Amino acid sequence: MLYGVGLSAILGLLWLTLSGNYTLSGDYPLIIMLGILSILISVGITLRMRILDRETVPIVRAPHLIAYWAWLGGQILAANISVLKLIMRPDVDIEPRLVRVPVDLRSGTARCVYANSITLTPGTVTVDVEDDGYLVHALDKSMTDPAGFAEMALRSDRAADGQRTSEDGENS
């Protein structure tokens, strides 16, 4: 029930934002009714498909997702600067590497977020996805720090699942 109400609220805000019609004149009542009808049909189809769950409507995870997007944006900016420094040197001396990055994430969503985050970060590309890890191509050996990959994995898991149990058993 909470997910249905949350999805309706999200779709209502999205519809209101995208419709751009904020006046009460002319055809506005008809437009409002069509908007409500489209939201009800969308939520009804989602219920009928039985996909209305915490993954479809990530209301609870929204703060974690927003924090992750902000952190990832900073990482992308820093990686852009790093790649720019590498390619702008007069003596382009890069050492491309293929590294296997271990992956121990709890959900498919977290694994997907992690793999895409690696690829979004300039200088690294997820080349192959396996059950126990990813094969990552890095533009230079300086971009293969295991601690950086571990931090991204932890943050990806928090963003996808809302909480992560740390190595010592405590919730973080």
Q: What is the pLDDT of residues 58-114, one digit of tens each?
A: 677 778 888 999 999 999 999 999 999 998 988 888 899 999 999 998 788 889 999
Closest among 144, 97, 136, 96 to 114, alpha carbons compared: 136
Residue 153 lies in a domain: yes
Residue 117 lies in a domain: yes
**For residue 50, pLDDT beyond 70:** yes
State how many domains the chain has: 2
Same domain for 70 and 109, yes or no, is yes
Same domain for 15 and 67, yes or no, is no
**For residue 53, pLDDT beyond 90:** no
pTM: predicted TM-score of the whole model, two decimal places: 0.69
Same domain for 134 and 67, yes or no, is yes
| E strand map for 77-123 | 97-102
Distance, CA of 69 to CA of 84 (rounded, Å): 22
Q: What is the pLDDT of residues 149-161, one digit of tens each?
A: 999 999 999 888 7
- Locus of tokens 């992560």: 164
Distance, CA of 60 to CA of 169 (rounded, Å): 22
Same domain for 85 and 7, yes or no, is no
Same domain for 35 and 77, yes or no, is no
Beta partners for residue 124, in sequence order = 138
Same domain for 106 and 152, yes or no, is yes
Residue 55 lies in a domain: no
**Amino acid letter, 15:** W
Same domain for 128 and 153, yes or no, is yes
What is the average pLDDT across 18-35? 78
From residue 9, give the alpha-carbon distance in Å to each of 12, 22, 59, 162: 5, 17, 10, 21
Same domain for 35 and 90, yes or no, is no
Give the pLDDT score at 170. Answer: 42
Domain with 150, as residue range(s), is 62-161
**Largest Cα–Cα separation, the chain:** 66
Report the mean per-residue pLDDT for the chain: 85
Question: Could you tell me what percentage of the chain is helix, strand and coil, using 3-state DSSP and rounding each to the nearest 5?
Answer: 55, 10, 30
| E strand map for 76-144 | 97-102, 124-129, 133-138
Same domain for 148 and 72, yes or no, is yes
Same domain for 34 and 105, yes or no, is no
pLDDT grade for 138, boundaries at 50, 70 and 90: very high
Residue 152 lies in a domain: yes
